[in-house]
């Protein structure tokens, strides 16, 4: 019996439809907020219910992440904390669980994480599912009774509600990556979770010369849709002429690096990258499974299938940079400014122009798709999959934009990570939804972390 499903609130299968688009905060009604909350909750519940049995909840699929039971309780505790701060909840639901599930970590090594979590006592699975149910009812009551004054802006109490919903959607993606690192026998793929078609071969991936130009980074505070603090600000840059690969690097293209012994050559890695690579027990990407020489399986969120050579390779930042060095002198990743110019993304933007359906976003598929196979994902500049499919690692460290203001409800959300140890990624992945799928969303991770992320190569032009 699937214990998760047995103790969760019964809901229709969320995977039968796509997630709802985010509400417009200058025109939404109470019913819009209810529907978006129900949709948000159902998607996270639906994913959590794919875990079979109790044992895997107390495992760490990624040694740099908490046990999975933490993520079952984290999103609910976030709602409670933020809604209490703004006075929309009079008191906590369960102070002990809210303290436990509110612990934030960003470890560089497993030992750093272990020092934090080893003393902790995790509650039973039944307790956490019951807590989720309690919080769901409490948040629904807030939506029913809270004063609704439009627009909902960063100074509005209801901004805490919107933040909670978007935070949950971010963690839907986080949890999907952790589930992907569990043994597949602990998971059950839902009936409506479908994979993208898998052509036998990827297309050639030439470099396209691009002229560059003036771009603007940053989302204005007047934008009528929710944004995280690191999206706001203003910076203009002039992009110099550059060349970039038309497609994301595919599994097929990355195979050349693997077969050339790339994982064993320190010349491709840099000092920190090589120290990381030496700790590996593999010489290929993490989600490839070697069956025999030249024959690989591929780990999806739920199971192992034949490696789709035409899908984009998914690697961390160290691996992406190693491939660039292997390609030859001058090869590198795109910069944020180049990505913005190539994607033809100019602020201000809103979901009125985001066109989620044109890309492999918002769970169009339950997987990446073959590079270049979504015809509408071709940008006006001629590059494919700048948005959607997989996140795109960039060559810039994470940074905030001029005019950045940390939000009082989450002051350490972004500002602590502006350092040489965190790297930008843009564009969203196949599972990115809500405002996380917006072209203005600026994501970041440590270089050894895994997300549904790939890359394309670029280089300067004379």
d(CA 164, CA 412): 15
SS3 128: helix
For 211-220, write each residue's pLDDT tens digit.
Answer: 999 999 999 8
Confidence grade of residue 353 (pLDDT, cut at 50, 70, 90): low
Hey, which bits of 40-86 come out as E strands? none
User: Is residue 5 over pLDDT 80?
Assistant: no
Q: How many CB atoms lie within 10 A of CB 111?
A: 9
Judged on CB neighbours under 10 Å (0-12, 13-18, 19+), 188 is middle
With tokens 């050639």, the residue in question is: 204
Q: Which residues, 6 or more positions from 279, have their beta carbon under 8 angstroms from its beta carbon?
A: none
Q: Tell me the pTM.
A: 0.95
| Partners of 428 in the β-ladder | none
DSSP of 314-365, one letter per residue? ---HHHHHHHHHHH-TT-BPPPHHHHHHHTT--SS--TTTT-GGGSS-TTSS
With tokens 């819009």, the residue in question is: 32
- Lookup: tokens for 428: 């969203």
pLDDT at 309: 97
d(CA 396, CA 353): 26
User: Is residue 347 over pLDDT 70?
Assistant: no
Q: How many CB atoms lie within 10 A of CB 274?
A: 15
d(CA 37, CA 22): 10
Of 6-15, 109-118, 428-437, minimum mean pLDDT range: 6-15
For 121-175, write each residue's pLDDT tens digit.
Answer: 999 999 999 999 999 999 999 999 999 999 999 999 999 999 999 999 999 999 9
Q: Tell me what the mean pLDDT of segment 27-46 comes to.
A: 97
Q: Tell me what the mean pLDDT of segment 177-183 comes to.
A: 97
What angle separates helix 125-145 from helix 30-48, to the nearest 10 degrees?
170
User: Is residue 196 over pLDDT 90?
Assistant: yes
Task: Tell me the helix, strand and coil percentages in the chain, rounded to 5.
Answer: 35, 15, 50
pLDDT at 122: 97
Peptide bond into 151 cis (omega under 30): yes
For 243-276, write each residue's pLDDT tens digit.
Answer: 999 999 999 999 999 999 999 999 999 999 999 9
When comparing pLDDT for 156 and 352, which is higher? Answer: 156
Nearest to 230 by CA among 214, 219, 241, 239: 219
Q: Tell me what the mean pLDDT of segment 397-402 comes to.
A: 97
d(CA 74, CA 176): 15
Cα distances (Å, whole numbers) of residue 211 to 126, 239, 241, 439, 456: 58, 8, 4, 21, 18
For 279-303, write each residue's pLDDT tens digit.
Answer: 999 999 999 999 998 899 999 999 9
How many Å is the Cα radius of gyration of the chain?
Answer: 22
pLDDT at 345: 66
Q: Tell me what the mean pLDDT of segment 209-233 comes to.
A: 94
User: Is residue 26 over pLDDT 90?
Assistant: yes
Q: Which residues, 6 or more positions from 390, have their beta carbon under 8 angstroms from its beta carbon?
A: 248, 312, 314, 368, 427, 429, 430, 452, 453, 454
- Lookup: tokens for 112: 């750093």
Q: Which sign does the torsion angle of CA 122, 126, 127, 131 carry?
A: positive
- Lookup: tokens for 149: 């004054």
User: Is residue 7 over pLDDT 50?
Assistant: no
User: How confident is the prediction for the chain on average, in pLDDT?
Assistant: 94
Q: CB–CB of 387/353 below 8 Å?
A: no
Nearest to 391 by CA among 347, 344, 333, 348: 333
What angle separates helix 30-48 from helix 159-179, to the nearest 10 degrees?
20
User: Is residue 456 over pLDDT 90?
Assistant: yes
């Amino acid at each position: 019996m699937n214990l998760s499903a047995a103790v969760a609130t019964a809901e229709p299968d969320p995977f039968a439809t796509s997630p709802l688009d985010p509400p417009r905060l200058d025109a939404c009604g109470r019913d819009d907020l209810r529907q978006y909350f129900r949709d948000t909750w159902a998607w996270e519940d639906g994913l959590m219910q794919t875990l079979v049995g109790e044992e895997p909840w107390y495992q760490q699929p990624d040694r740099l992440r908490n046990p999975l039971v933490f993520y079952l309780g984290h999103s609910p505790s976030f709602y409670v904390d933020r809604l209490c701060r703004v006075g929309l909840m009079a008191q906590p639901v369960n102070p002990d669980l809210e303290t436990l599930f509110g612990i934030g970590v960003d470890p560089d090594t497993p030992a750093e994480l272990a020092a934090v979590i080893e003393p902790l006592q995790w509650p039973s699975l039944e307790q956490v599912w019951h807590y989720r149910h309690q919080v769901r009812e409490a948040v629904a009551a807030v939506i029913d009774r809270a004063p609704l004054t439009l627009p909902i802006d960063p100074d509005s109490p209801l901004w805490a509600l919107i933040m909670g919903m978007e935070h949950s959607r971010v963690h839907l993606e986080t949890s999907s990556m952790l589930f992907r690192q569990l043994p597949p026998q602990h998971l059950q793929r839902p009936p409506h979770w479908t994979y993208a078609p898998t052509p036998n071969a990827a297309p050639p991936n030439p470099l396209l010369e691009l002229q560059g130009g003036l771009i603007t980074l940053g989302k204005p505070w007047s934008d009528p849709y929710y944004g995280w603090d690191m999206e706001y600000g203003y910076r203009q840059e002039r992009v110099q002429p550059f060349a970039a690969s038309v497609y994301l690097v595919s599994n097929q293209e990355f195979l050349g690096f693997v077969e050339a012994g790339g994982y064993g050559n320190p010349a491709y890695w840099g000092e920190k990258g090589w120290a990381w690579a030496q700790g590996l027990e593999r010489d290929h990407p993490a989600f490839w499974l070697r069956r025999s020489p030249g024959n690989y399986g591929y780990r999806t969120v739920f199971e192992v299938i034949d490696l789709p050579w035409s899908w984009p390779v998914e690697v961390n930042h160290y691996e992406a940079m190693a491939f660039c060095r292997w390609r030859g002198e001058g090869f590198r990743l795109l910069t944020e400014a180049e990505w913005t110019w190539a994607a033809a993304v100019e602020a201000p933007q809103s979901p009125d122009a985001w066109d989620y359906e044109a890309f492999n976003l918002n769970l169009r598929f339950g997987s990446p798709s073959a590079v270049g196979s979504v015809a509408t994902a071709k940008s006006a500049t001629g590059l494919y999959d700048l948005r959607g499919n997989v996140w795109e690692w960039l060559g810039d460290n994470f940074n905030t934009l001029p005019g950045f203001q940390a939000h009082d409800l989450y002051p350490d959300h972004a500002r602590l990570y502006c350092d040489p140890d965190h790297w930008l990624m843009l564009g969203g992945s196949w599972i990115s939804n809500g405002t996380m799928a917006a072209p203005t969303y600026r994501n970041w991770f440590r270089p050894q972390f895994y997300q549904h992320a790939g890359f394309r190569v670029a280089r300067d032009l004379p």
